[in-house]
Amino acid sequence: MNLREQTLPKLRREKRKLRIRKKIIGTKEKPRLSVFKSLRNLEVQIINDENGKTILGLSTLSKDLREQLKGKKKSDQAKILGEIIAKKAIDAGIKKVVFDRRENKYIGRIKVLAESLRAGGLEF
């Protein structure tokens, strides 16, 4: 494998992220819900891009969720995380968001998370 073949997937992922991100902007009325996925964890943030402030943030690494998520599959963890972040967002007065999946495809944990956010009452 040469250097170009090694970096090609990273370039494609970066291009996909930029293509998606240039269309998605969070406002005060409809903030951006950003999802970061690593191999083991998920992080969700609700961001107002006008101010550049994070309104809410939650991760599978959060101390208050560790016991609840312990021993569960990653897709089950995504479902629980989505339900909790939806409840917190509605408590904070946020009903509509713009879903930013970053460079991730809408399959697997991202899809489970999105479905649980919708089931929790968020609209996007």
Whether residue 99 is predicted with pLDDT greater than 80 in this model: the reply is: yes
The total of structural domains in the chain comes to: 1
Domain for residue 111, yes or no?
Answer: yes
**pLDDT tens-digit readout, 22-31:** 888 888 899 9
Q: Stretch 95-108: mean pLDDT, rounded?
A: 92
Q: For residue 105, tell me if it sits in a domain.
A: yes
Decide if 114 is inside a domain: yes
pLDDT digits (tens, 9 = 90+) for 45-93: 999 999 999 999 999 999 989 899 999 999 999 999 999 999 999 999 9
* 111 touches 82 (CB < 8 A): no
- Domain encompassing residue 65: 3-119
Is position 11 within any domain? yes
In a domain, 124, yes or no: no
- Other CB atoms closer than 10 Å to residue 1's CB: what's the count? 5
- Would 39 be classed as within a structural domain? yes
CATH of the domain at 29: 3.30.420.100
